[in-house]
Structure 1
Amino acid sequence: MKIHLTSVFVDDQTEALRFYTEVLGFLKKHDVPLGGEDRWLTVVSPEEPGGTELLLEPARHPAARTYRDALVQDGIPLAQFAVTDVKAEYERLRALGVRFTQEPTETGPVTTAVLDDTCGNLIQLATEPR
């Protein structure tokens, strides 16, 4: 068994696609119209184009908004992305105008930072322990 798909709830799929591809550097994998404004819209890591997909899911359901907003209010990231060097990625993304709610912080063998994805979520970046 393996993880094939996970999702983040987003306010605007078009803006989310722009941020996740143009800023974070993911690749668009699927973009299928579902009727109305909604799409089956996924992105993948350029390092693993056949790997786990991230669904940029519309946050239309009231429970999704309540859950997501509560996490943001409490400063809890919805997802975590692995990077080779959190400090370098932090500097690269800040230069692109990304807002961070936590600067790079060493916690034992892992360094983390938390960014605002502009779509209603906090996302944690983390190095993998060596």
Structure 2
Amino acid sequence: MNIIVTSIFVDDQDKALNFYTETLGFVKKHDVPAGEFRWITLVSPDNQEGTELLLEPNDNPAASDYQSKLMEQGIPATMFGVEDVQKEYDRLLKHDVKFTMEPTKMGNNTIAVFDDTCGNLIQIIDY
């Protein structure tokens, strides 16, 4: 069994698509109309046949509540692996990304947390 798609709730699909592609560097794989919304998936530029990230609209009250509660409590919605957290932190600061946690050593890893501008905190970790 493999994970082929995972989703993250976003409050604005267009804004999320722009942030996740232009700022973070993901590649758009699918962008298909789905009723009043779209089925938008992204992949890593390093693994374009790998797991897809679905930018899921948070129009469902349960999804909206879940998303806002995670944000209020400072809990990241998901985690992305990067080669060098400090280097990625510095790169993203140049794009005006707002961090809620600067690079911090946790055991053998370094993590940082930023706001994706679409209602989520995202954690990055070196791998």
Amino acid of the residue matched to residue 122 of structure 2?
A: I
Instruction: Give the number of equivalent residue pairs.
Output: 127
2:77 alignment counterpart = 78
Gaps of 5+ in 1: none
SS in 2 for 1:17: helix
Higher strand share: 2
Say whether residues 1:17 and 2:17 are aligned partners.
yes
* TM norm structure 2: 0.99
Provide the rounded CA distance (Å) in 2 between the counterparts of 1:14 and 1:68.
18
2:107 alignment counterpart = 108
- Following TM superposition, the consecutive aligned residue runs of length 4 or more in structure 1 with deviations greater than 3 angstroms are none
CA drift at 1:34: 1.1
CA drift at 1:2: 1.1
Q: 1:53-97: CA deviations, max 9, x gaps?
A: 000010000000111111111100000000000000000000110
* TM norm structure 1: 0.96
Gaps of 5+ in 2: none
Amino acid of the residue matched to residue 107 of structure 1?
A: M
